[in-house]
Amino acid sequence: MIRLAPHIAVAAAGDPGSGTFAVCDGEGAALWYGPYSDFEHAHPRGPRMAASMAAATRAVWLAGRACAETGLRQADVHLTVPDREVDAAVLFSMATMAGLRLRLLAESENPAHDWCRVPGQRDWRPGTLAALVEYRAVHDRAVVEISS
Protein backbone atom coordinates (compact mmCIF):
# COMPACT_ATOMS: atom_id res chain seq x y z
CA MET A 1 0.00 0.00 0.00
CA ILE A 2 1.25 3.48 -0.82
CA ARG A 3 0.52 6.38 1.52
CA LEU A 4 1.67 9.96 1.98
CA ALA A 5 3.98 10.53 4.94
CA PRO A 6 5.23 13.81 6.41
CA HIS A 7 8.89 14.47 5.63
CA ILE A 8 11.27 17.20 6.82
CA ALA A 9 14.71 17.82 5.31
CA VAL A 10 17.23 19.93 7.23
CA ALA A 11 20.99 20.47 7.14
CA ALA A 12 23.14 21.51 10.09
CA ALA A 13 26.76 22.52 10.57
CA GLY A 14 28.95 24.11 13.19
CA ASP A 15 32.24 26.00 12.97
CA PRO A 16 34.48 25.58 16.02
CA GLY A 17 36.78 28.40 14.90
CA SER A 18 34.06 31.03 15.02
CA GLY A 19 31.84 29.29 17.59
CA THR A 20 28.84 29.42 15.28
CA PHE A 21 26.16 27.03 14.05
CA ALA A 22 23.62 27.04 11.22
CA VAL A 23 20.48 25.09 10.36
CA CYS A 24 19.06 25.19 6.82
CA ASP A 25 16.04 23.75 5.09
CA GLY A 26 16.41 21.12 2.38
CA GLU A 27 17.04 23.80 -0.25
CA GLY A 28 19.85 25.49 1.71
CA ALA A 29 17.90 28.52 2.97
CA ALA A 30 18.95 29.54 6.48
CA LEU A 31 16.42 28.87 9.23
CA TRP A 32 18.59 29.62 12.26
CA TYR A 33 22.24 30.63 12.65
CA GLY A 34 24.60 32.44 14.98
CA PRO A 35 26.93 31.79 17.90
CA TYR A 36 26.31 28.78 20.08
CA SER A 37 26.26 29.25 23.84
CA ASP A 38 29.29 29.13 26.13
CA PHE A 39 28.29 25.88 27.82
CA GLU A 40 28.18 24.14 24.42
CA HIS A 41 31.86 24.85 23.70
CA ALA A 42 32.96 22.06 26.03
CA HIS A 43 32.56 18.54 24.67
CA PRO A 44 34.54 15.49 25.79
CA ARG A 45 35.43 14.75 22.14
CA GLY A 46 36.72 18.25 21.38
CA PRO A 47 35.68 21.53 19.78
CA ARG A 48 34.75 20.07 16.37
CA MET A 49 32.25 17.74 18.04
CA ALA A 50 30.95 20.60 20.20
CA ALA A 51 30.22 22.66 17.08
CA SER A 52 28.64 19.75 15.19
CA MET A 53 26.39 18.80 18.09
CA ALA A 54 25.37 22.42 18.77
CA ALA A 55 24.04 22.56 15.22
CA ALA A 56 22.61 19.04 14.92
CA THR A 57 20.66 19.17 18.19
CA ARG A 58 19.10 22.46 17.11
CA ALA A 59 18.11 20.92 13.77
CA VAL A 60 16.35 17.99 15.46
CA TRP A 61 14.63 20.35 17.90
CA LEU A 62 13.50 22.59 15.02
CA ALA A 63 12.07 19.60 13.14
CA GLY A 64 10.11 18.72 16.28
CA ARG A 65 8.79 22.30 16.43
CA ALA A 66 7.72 22.03 12.77
CA CYS A 67 5.67 18.95 13.68
CA ALA A 68 4.12 20.77 16.61
CA GLU A 69 3.18 23.76 14.42
CA THR A 70 1.40 21.48 11.96
CA GLY A 71 -0.23 19.25 14.57
CA LEU A 72 1.69 16.17 13.46
CA ARG A 73 2.51 13.43 15.93
CA GLN A 74 5.35 12.02 13.84
CA ALA A 75 7.41 12.68 10.72
CA ASP A 76 10.43 11.38 8.84
CA VAL A 77 13.43 13.70 9.16
CA HIS A 78 16.50 13.67 6.93
CA LEU A 79 19.28 15.53 8.71
CA THR A 80 22.45 16.27 6.74
CA VAL A 81 25.58 16.97 8.78
CA PRO A 82 29.18 17.44 7.58
CA ASP A 83 30.73 15.22 10.26
CA ARG A 84 30.29 11.43 10.44
CA GLU A 85 31.29 11.43 14.08
CA VAL A 86 28.31 13.29 15.52
CA ASP A 87 26.83 11.65 18.59
CA ALA A 88 24.11 9.70 16.78
CA ALA A 89 22.75 8.18 20.01
CA VAL A 90 21.92 11.64 21.38
CA LEU A 91 20.33 12.75 18.10
CA PHE A 92 18.25 9.58 17.71
CA SER A 93 17.08 9.86 21.33
CA MET A 94 16.02 13.48 20.82
CA ALA A 95 14.24 12.56 17.60
CA THR A 96 12.40 9.64 19.17
CA MET A 97 11.18 11.79 22.06
CA ALA A 98 9.81 14.29 19.52
CA GLY A 99 8.05 11.61 17.44
CA LEU A 100 10.57 11.85 14.61
CA ARG A 101 12.09 9.03 12.57
CA LEU A 102 15.60 10.32 11.94
CA ARG A 103 17.77 9.52 8.96
CA LEU A 104 21.24 10.92 9.50
CA LEU A 105 23.33 11.71 6.41
CA ALA A 106 26.99 12.78 6.53
CA GLU A 107 28.00 14.83 3.49
CA SER A 108 30.97 17.17 3.21
CA GLU A 109 29.03 19.49 0.87
CA ASN A 110 26.59 20.99 3.34
CA PRO A 111 24.83 24.34 2.68
CA ALA A 112 24.63 25.06 6.41
CA HIS A 113 28.41 25.33 6.62
CA ASP A 114 28.38 28.52 4.50
CA TRP A 115 25.83 30.11 6.84
CA CYS A 116 28.23 29.61 9.77
CA ARG A 117 30.43 32.29 8.20
CA VAL A 118 27.68 34.90 7.81
CA PRO A 119 28.09 37.72 10.35
CA GLY A 120 25.35 38.20 12.91
CA GLN A 121 22.57 35.81 13.68
CA ARG A 122 19.08 34.78 12.66
CA ASP A 123 16.67 33.25 15.13
CA TRP A 124 14.07 30.76 13.99
CA ARG A 125 10.61 32.27 13.66
CA PRO A 126 7.52 30.65 15.16
CA GLY A 127 4.71 30.19 12.67
CA THR A 128 7.06 29.68 9.71
CA LEU A 129 8.17 26.10 10.30
CA ALA A 130 5.11 24.41 8.79
CA ALA A 131 6.67 25.10 5.37
CA LEU A 132 9.39 22.55 6.22
CA VAL A 133 6.88 19.69 6.13
CA GLU A 134 6.43 18.00 2.77
CA TYR A 135 4.39 14.90 2.05
CA ARG A 136 6.05 12.06 0.17
CA ALA A 137 4.72 8.78 -1.07
CA VAL A 138 5.98 5.79 0.90
CA HIS A 139 5.35 2.12 0.36
CA ASP A 140 4.12 0.19 3.38
CA ARG A 141 5.10 -3.42 3.25
CA ALA A 142 2.35 -5.62 4.51
CA VAL A 143 3.25 -8.70 6.46
CA VAL A 144 1.18 -11.66 5.40
CA GLU A 145 0.88 -14.59 7.74
CA ILE A 146 -0.37 -17.87 6.36
CA SER A 147 -1.52 -20.51 8.75
CA SER A 148 -2.66 -24.00 7.96
In this prediction, residue 36 carries a pLDDT of: 86
Alpha carbon distance 6, 73 (integer Å): 10
Mean of the pLDDT values across residues 13-35? 93
Mean of the pLDDT values across residues 109-117? 92
Counting other chains too, the contacts that 32-40 makes at CB distance below 8 Å and 24 or more residues apart are 32/58, 32/62, 32/122, 32/123, 32/124, 33/112, 33/115, 33/116, 33/118, 33/121, 33/122, 34/120, 34/121, 34/122, 34/123, 35/121
Model-wide pTM > 0.85 = yes
In this prediction, residue 79 carries a pLDDT of: 96
Mean of the pLDDT values across residues 64-92? 92
Cβ pair 86, 49 in contact under 8 A: yes
The correct answer on CATH 1.10.3470 for the domain covering 2-139 is no
Alpha carbon distance 117, 75 (integer Å): 30
> What does the pLDDT look like over 25-51, one tens digit per residue?
999 999 999 998 765 555 555 578 888
